[in-house]
Amino acid sequence: MTTRPLIGITMGDPVGIGPEIIVKALADNPIYDQCRPLIIGNVEILKKAATIVGQSPDFHPVDDPDQGKFVTGSVDVLDPAGPFSEPINWGRPTPETGRHMETYITTAVDLAVAGKTTAMVTAPINKEALRMGGSRYTGHTELIAERVGCSRYAMMLAGDRLRVVLVTIHIPLKKVHQALTREKVRTTLEITAESLISRFGIPAPRIAVAGLNPHAGESGLFGDEETQTIIPAMEAAADATSAAIEGPFPPDTVFVAAAEGRFDAVVCMYHDQGLIPLKLLHFDDGVNTTLGLPIIRTSVDHGTAYDIAGTGRAGCASLKAAIRMAVLQSNQSVAGVKKT
């Protein structure tokens, strides 16, 4: 049983839905059959969340992952931030809740880097609440990447039917064409290929590339980013990897082909181009995973939902899917090490 990967799960925003969905997810016996979950967060808040969702597990505080019980009905919790100085209210972030949520994340990163956990799963945070706590980061990805010293990474959103990887992420649409460079597109393609092989166990990945413009530019009629930037980057990435890289395809048709199984992932040029089809198919069970990091990180594909926090209404499907993906990547990484 000790071969089950030890997964560090951050509690996320203390006043969001993270505590509730964690308690709900860990009430599922198969989670413990697949892994050893360690919650990095606050026991008292988790207890309140358990009451709200009608669960009564045995909360087991630990100072080190090795002290965990990791059995169904017992939730192991490591709290690196300590108690709150004043009562918290669901849906109402404070500078203190912002500081605590960042501490949960940095601790989870450090545990993974040290090899004390095999992967980290992140519950949702709120960017504004993070700033309220004095953080200089805009979100999970930037914080984690800098802490592990990684500048070469990419965001993948995934479900059973569709995986999308983004070349540009949180920038205004009018700036996308300026941000698209051959190097950025090539790097994203190479990271995607490497990760599909090493983290998902796909030895010969099939990657589709979405064009930036309608009809993928229509031979330059609707824009030249495809011919000047995307195609040269694809050719360079194809030479550097073992992946089959095809496209650029018209963005209005490529996702249909991918959802039907013709491709293992679609590399998209901007945020909504990839997120709209992904959430159409996987609104409840989509997973966010950061490719290219030296550690495994997966996350829910939704926010803190302050409007329903503390009501018990939040679903845990995305969190359970994120845990399953962390387990899959952990097991694949171990298998890859054994093969080499």
Instruction: Give pLDDT tens digits for 240-268.
Output: 999 999 999 999 999 999 999 999 999 99
CB neighbour class for 302 (10 Å; exposed up to 12, middle 13-18, buried from 19)? buried
Mean pLDDT, residues 326-340: 74
**Residue 2's pLDDT band (boundaries 50, 70, 90)?**
low
Convert 115-134 to b/e letters by CB count within 10 Å (16 or more is b): eebbbbbbbbbbbebbebbe
Question: What does the alpha-carbon distance between residue 63 and residue 112 come to, in Å, rounded to a whole number?
Answer: 15
The two three-digit tokens of residue 26, written as one number = 């860990």
Select from 25, 212, 236 the least CA-distant residue to 121.
Answer: 25
Select from 123, 163, 135 the least CA-distant residue to 42.
Answer: 123
92-135 confidence digits (pLDDT tens): 999 999 999 999 999 999 999 999 999 999 999 999 999 999 99
Question: What does the alpha-carbon distance between residue 109 and residue 86 come to, in Å, rounded to a whole number?
Answer: 27
**Residue 50's pLDDT band (boundaries 50, 70, 90)?**
very high
* Cross-strand bridge partners of residue 99: none
The amino acid that residue 205 corresponds to is P
Find the DSSP H helices in 54-119. Answer: 95-113
